[in-house]
Amino acid sequence: MIIHYYRLLPYLLTRLPMWTLIKRKQSYVDHLLVPLIIIRCLALTLVKKHSNPYPKSKKKMSAPSSYGSIAKKEELCDCQLLVRICTSKTKENPNKKFKVCPNSLKLGKKCKYWEWIDEPVTGNPDLKQKLEAVKVDVACLKKEVQELKNKAHSYRVEISCNII
């Protein structure tokens, strides 16, 4: 609910205690400034709180990034809608960001706008190859652990048979 504080101004002006002005020897203008400043601050706060942060203009402007602190330019798809930033959940591209048309998630008309977001590359360029090598090592170690478990199980069976 938005309260229009500027509508309260006539009410406040009629309710000002005039005797305090005479008693404190302040001017009428000084006494009016405090309520006006309060009203203006409250009105600006409410306007900012309830205003639309995404205007309907088609101009490109900076917008808050949904995944980082770097401001990106807003982009429009072929439908002239603001593109949506999504995150990939596939094994091939885990947690990779991409831009897509909001209509692509709805039935009916589809826009073919789709684009990967190229994040800045940092660190070692050979990192992917090293990751693959580590994955191979882990797979070999898992296989070796399984073989040792099987061998230990067979020894237990053999020992239990010899005891009986």
Quote the Cα angle for 93-98-103, to 5°.
Answer: 125
For residues 12 and 35, the answer to whether their CB atoms sit within 8 Å is yes
pTM: 0.31
User: 50 in helix, strand or coil?
Assistant: helix
Q: Give pLDDT tens digits for 58-95.
A: 433 333 334 332 335 678 887 888 888 888 888 888 88
**Maximum mean pLDDT: which of 47-56, 62-71, 102-111:** 102-111
Query: Cα separation of 25 and 34, whole Å?
Result: 16
Tokens of 75: 């982009």
Cα atoms in the 13 Å half-sphere on the side-chain side of 22: 3
> How confident is the model at residue 37, as a pLDDT?
57
More confident residue, 81 or 40: 81
Confidence class for position 120, pLDDT limits 50, 70, 90 = low
> How confident is the model at residue 66, as a pLDDT?
40
Instruction: Kindly report the average pLDDT of the chain as a whole number.
Output: 68
